[in-house]
Amino acid sequence: MIETTYQNNVLTAFLSGEIDHDSACEIRARVDGIAQSLKPRLLCLDFGKVSFMDSSGVGLVMGRYRQMKLLGGALRVQNVSPGIYRIFAMSGLEGLGVMG
Amino acid sequence: MNAKNEMHLRFPSKSCNEAFARSVAAAFVMNLDPTVTELSDLKTAVSEAVTNCIVHGYRRESGTVFLSGKIDENGRVVFKIRDKGCGIADVRQAMQPLFTTAAEEERAGLGFAVMQSFCDKVRVTSAVGKGTTVTLEKQLGNG
């Protein structure tokens, strides 16, 4: 469900499959665990292989945004398909400047 | 397109059943030959409603979620998602975008906004201590 890479102080989490309340809890635990140990300058959440997302994905991004602020880093969201973008657009996330 | 049909399903309020419920909803409308967007809209709306039952209705306690679906002869789909959980005291407030009672669980407060955006009609009836019913309506086959 998640593959991660760490390069030049950038942690990238490649998410895949369906993101709902159930899977978001697992992704959150996994990504936070890695981010807390590596303390990256930037966390990239890559949505390229996400086939479905409900509003749980918005909570996931907002939560990681806060988490990265606490760790002194930044967050970027990348490879968002138009279908998934519709849900992000409703949330005002664009105002945070995280949408890559 | 004479696709008059209906279905009834009940399942425990486990979060693994969120995926199960939206898959059933998608399978149920499949013979209406929905577009990819229509299918995604319905799956997302049903996922939001079922998640509400599990996270808010039953507050992570065990309970039963009821999902029923109806298709009329004009391709109009109606899903009802019901729980017998805690109910909502102020439905109008609960439906405000970004309002949430589960911020610590990273709920964005967008569930009803998504349902309203992806369906033609959303109706919520609720009684405190008795439960909540969400009715989602969507016309399929409009292009």
Query: Which residues of chain A lie closer than 8 angstroms to B53, CB-CB?
Result: none
**Res B142: pLDDT:** 66
**Domains by residue range for chain B, with CATH:** 5-139 (3.30.565.10)
Residues in Cβ contact with B100 at an 8 Å cutoff, skipping those fewer than 6 apart? B107, B108, B109
Whether residue B108 and residue A62 make contact (CB cut-off 8 A), yes or no, is: yes
**Res B106: pLDDT:** 85
State ipTM.
0.92
Give the tens place of pLDDT for each residue, B74-104. Answer: 999 999 999 999 999 999 999 998 888 888 8
Whether residue A59 and residue B19 make contact (CB cut-off 8 A), yes or no, is: no
B48 annotated active-site: yes
Give the tens place of pLDDT for each residue, A25-42. Answer: 999 999 999 999 999 999
Among chain B residues, CA nearest to A91: B110
Nearest CA to A84 out of B40, B12, B142, B85 is that of B40
Rounded Cα–Cα distance for residues A88 and B74 (Å): 32
Among chain A residues, CA nearest to B107: A59
Could you please state the CATH topology (level 3) that the domain comprising A2-96 is classified under: Transcription Regulator spoIIAA (3.30.750)
B52 annotated active-site: yes
The answer to whether A100 and A44 have CB atoms below 8 angstroms apart is yes
Rounded Cα–Cα distance for residues A52 and A23 (Å): 11
Q: What value does the mean pLDDT of chain B take?
A: 94
Give the tens place of pLDDT for each residue, B7-41. Answer: 999 999 999 999 999 999 999 999 999 999 999 99
Among chain A residues, CA nearest to B46: A54
Rounded Cα–Cα distance for residues B5 and B66 (Å): 17
B22 annotated active-site: no
Considering only the beta carbons, identify the residue of B44, B97, B106 that sits closest to A60: B106
